[in-house]
Amino acid sequence: MGFILFDYVLHKKDLKQAEPEAARALPPSLKPAFVEGFLVPENLRYHPGHSWIARERRNLARVGVDEFAAALAGKIEKIELPKPGTWVRQGQKVVAFTRHGEKAEMVSPTEGEVVEINQEVLDDPAVVRKDPYGQGWLMTVHVPDEEGTLRNLVPTNLVRSWIRDAVERLYALQSPALGMAAADGGRPVDDLLEGLPDADWKKVTSEFFLS
């Protein structure tokens, strides 16, 4: 079978329209950048498990999931977060997404004490997909060792290649009968795996979320 373009993975909208629309939704403090159609703000730091971390002030960081993770998790029905006061370790499973009765977990990008959780995403999990870098943030964490945290994050000069690799790995996981094609521009659909009935959501998310 010849190559089939993943129309259900990327919206084939004119990027002159699609990318500015996505960029406008970002908080003003974030600098927009796109890799293979995914929004990846340049002034955030990223964990290999596809969460992001932003320094709010000295020893306080805000944590969320990147757009690739949000699209991969897709139409989640429930989010579980650690309670304020909980001590979390970098690389520890601290976030859980539930969809169709299955649960996928995500690890923390930092070590420290949870200060606040975002009640809005608990009440409406869809916010994570709609606005992963803004209203869809997950929690704030008091981080005593900021330098230690940075050592295990994706180096800033490698973020673009890291996202490209994630997209290529996602395509490679799909059934060969579906065919494959490199991303040719566009914005990701709301739920990357919804159109792939053979995909094991829990297994795929666990691989990318390092859980």
Rounded to 5°, angle at Cα 41 from 203 and 172: 30
| 124 pLDDT above the threshold of 70 | yes
Burial class (CB in 10 A: 0-12, 13-18, 19+), 48: middle
- How far is the CA of 28 from the CAs of 23, 32, 34, 41, 188, in angstroms? 9, 10, 16, 11, 22
pLDDT, tens digit, 9 for 90 and up, residues 6-23 = 444 444 444 555 677 778
In this prediction the pTM is 0.87
pLDDT, tens digit, 9 for 90 and up, residues 26-71 = 888 899 999 988 999 999 999 999 999 999 999 999 999 999 999 9
* CATH code assigned to 10-209: 2.40.50.100
Which tokens in the block code for residue 173? 């996981």
pLDDT value, residue 63: 98
Question: Largest alpha-carbon pair distance within the chain?
Answer: 55
pLDDT value, residue 76: 96
Quick one: CA torsion of 189, 194, 197, 201, rounded to 10 degrees? Answer: 110
pLDDT value, residue 56: 95
| 188 pLDDT above the threshold of 90 | no
pLDDT, tens digit, 9 for 90 and up, residues 101-123 = 999 999 999 999 999 999 999 99
- Mention every residue, 6+ apart, whose C-beta is less than 8 A from residue 116: 84, 139, 140
Q: How confident is the model at residue 152 (pLDDT cuts 50, 70, 90)?
A: very high
Q: How confident is the model at residue 2 (pLDDT cuts 50, 70, 90)?
A: very low
Domain positions in the chain: 10-209
